[in-house]
Amino acid sequence: MFGVCSRNRTVRQRPFGIQDLQNQLSLIESEIQMARRYYNGTVRNLNILIDSFPSNLVAGFFDFRKADFFQTDEADRAVPKVGF
């Protein structure tokens, strides 16, 4: 990424540099990871409640179903290309 930016004069002259872009991308990735962990934790708690007594009686009466954890495959985990 640095090699592309050092050759590209318009990127070097912008007030927000490549370091800011990298920081923003890192922040976004961290927020996505945090949201994914929160979702999976909430799903885990729901599934435990559905299996536990006495909440399983209420869950059965109202037809609550277990939720699936958020999972990605290797193709979705590939690092995206950022072009200029």
| Mean pLDDT of each 10-residue bin along the chain, 84 residues long | 57 68 89 95 95 91 92 75 66
**Domain assignment of residue 79, yes or no:** no
pTM for this prediction? 0.66
* Confidence (pLDDT) at 6: 56
**Domain assignment of residue 7, yes or no:** no
* Confidence (pLDDT) at 12: 57
Give CA separation, 72 vs 31, 56, 60, in Å: 16, 29, 30
**Domain assignment of residue 46, yes or no:** yes
Domain tally, the chain: 1
**Domain assignment of residue 43, yes or no:** yes
Domain, as residue range, for 60: 32-70
Integer Cα distance of 44 and 35 in angstroms? 14
* Confidence (pLDDT) at 36: 94
* Confidence (pLDDT) at 5: 55
**Domain assignment of residue 77, yes or no:** no
**Domain assignment of residue 5, yes or no:** no
* Confidence (pLDDT) at 72: 82
